Amino acid sequence: MHISKKSTILTCLLFVVTVGFSRAEGGEKAEKFEPGEMIMHHIADEHEWHFATIGHTHISLPLPCIVYQDGKLKAFMSSKFKDANHNEVAYDGLALEHGKIHAQDGSHVLDLSITKNVASLILSFVLLIVLFLGIAKRYKDNPNAAPKGFWQSAMEPIIIFIRDDVAKNYIGEKYHAKFLPYLLTLFFFIWINNLLGLMPGGANLTGNIAVTLVLAVLTFIIVNVNGKSTYWTHIFAMPGVPKWMLIILTPVEIVGVFMRPFSLMIRLFANITAGHIILLSLLSMIFIFKTIAVSPVVALFTVFMNLIELLVAALQAYIFTVLTASYIGGAVEEHHH
């Protein structure tokens, strides 16, 4: 309920800013509103952290651009690509177009910049480290004491739930402790970044397929590196199956090994991105109809969708963690099972 209230307040603030922008544009001839372009701009990665646009005023934070070109490493702020009117301009032979830095002379450019998603990744990393180092210190100082403080009291039931109902349930008593740190890290990383992405001006980190790809690859490596002989036997020479059937079943099992991380990657990416698109589409209706008369309905549905997205944020973190635990459990399963 506490989170829901915060989400409602944030959504209302976003709505007020949107209505203010609509009124500011109403007094002059505005360019044609393109909802698709606006939505893609907000869910895509950028070289600046854009928070809001009020009238012709852009509220954004420039981020460091790090470029390797012709044996030279160049570092500067992304504000160099903007003039006083926030129009894109070239800088030092480089141009920024559609979120990509390229050389005007056509030479190869290696972009190592701190983009919006990278900055959000660093922010979530710092939050996780600060939060859980503090909680770990409390447990270390008083291992047998009851949870103390808001964060320790709030996190302990979740940690116990992941340990007992996910790790032990899907991996088993013998091996769950070995993989529990990874499962906890996975769950809280996805959950916190999902929540950060719902904040006004937040980055769409878990809606970036490169991020979900890395998470899926990590799971793929952990599952197959720890796979026991029983796991590999069921893939290449399934027991109790006629030899001629292995011609069909073995390729299917091999494809399944790669389809599991692929499904993890697509599921998280698609669900988080779809949620952002729906929220932005609802807000776009004010500009599409060119009136604030629809604003009460838009505000109502936006708040409702935001509350749904809060549920989805935790649900997608849970699903990713449960499926990972089930894949690990299948890989380390003993023969008699």
DSSP 225-246: HS--HHHHHHHHS-TTS-GGGH
Residue 162, pLDDT score? 94
Q: Which of 63, 79, 111 represents a domain boundary (last residue)?
A: 111
| Domain interval for residue 42 | 33-111
Is residue 324 situated within a structural domain?
A: yes
Q: In terms of domains, do 39 and 64 share one?
A: yes
| pLDDT tops 50 at residue 28 | no
Quick check: is 3 in a domain? no
Instruction: Based on the fold, state whether residues 104 and 138 are members of the same structural domain.
Output: no
pTM of the model: 0.83
Residue where one domain finishes, among candidates 81, 111, 141: 111
Do 137 and 286 lie in a common domain?
yes
Rounded distance, CA 204 to CA 305, Å? 16
Q: Is 133 found in the same domain as 92?
A: no
Region of residue 107 (phi > 0: left; psi between -120 and 50: alpha; otherwise: beta): beta
Asked if 58 and 167 sit in the same domain, the reply is: no
Q: Is residue 54 part of a domain?
A: yes
For 58-72, what is the mean pLDDT?
86
Give the CA dihedral 52, 53, 59, 64, nearest 10 degrees.
80
Cα–Cα distance measured from residue 231 to residue 330, given in angstroms and rounded to the nearest whole number = 7
Same domain, 132 and 272: yes
Compute CA 301 distance to the chain's CA centroid, rounded to the nearest angstrom. Answer: 23
> Which carries the bigger pLDDT value, residue 94 or residue 293?
94
263, part of any domain: yes
Length of the chain: 337
> Are residues 186 and 44 part of one domain?
no
CA distance 309 to 179: 28
Instruction: Specify the higher pLDDT residue, 240 or 211.
Output: 211
Q: Look at residues 125, 240, 254, 143 and name the one whose alpha carbon lies nearest to residue 193.
A: 125
One domain for residues 164 and 293 = yes
Which tens digit of pLDDT belongs to each residue from 253-301?
899 999 999 999 999 999 999 988 888 888 888 778 777 777 788 888 8
Residue 169 within a domain:
yes
Within a domain: 57 = yes
Q: How large is the greatest C-alpha to C-alpha distance in the chain, in angstroms?
A: 77
Question: In terms of DSSP H, where are the helices of the chain?
Answer: 2-26, 35-43, 116-141, 150-161, 168-171, 176-198, 209-225, 229-236, 246-288, 295-331
* 142 and 183, same domain (yes or no): yes
Residues 199 and 293 in one domain: yes
Lowest mean pLDDT among 52-61, 223-232, 235-244: 52-61
Verify that 121 and 76 share a domain, yes or no: no
305 pLDDT tier (thresholds 50, 70, 90): confident
> Per-residue pLDDT for 6 more than 60?
no
Count of domains for the chain: 2
The answer to whether 109 and 94 have CB atoms below 8 angstroms apart is: yes
Distance CA 321, CA 182 (A): 9
pLDDT at 35 over 80: no
Written as one string, the DSSP assignment of 141-188 is H-TTSPP-SHHHHHHHHHHHHIIIIIIHHHH-TTTHHHHHHHHHHHHH
The answer to whether residue 149 is domain-embedded is: yes
Say whether both 72 and 42 belong to one domain. Answer: yes
pLDDT of residue 269: 94
Residue 208 lies in a domain: yes
Q: What is the pLDDT of residues 113-155, one digit of tens each?
A: 999 999 999 999 999 999 999 888 888 888 777 888 888 889 9
Q: Which residue has the tokens 């992405």?
A: 197
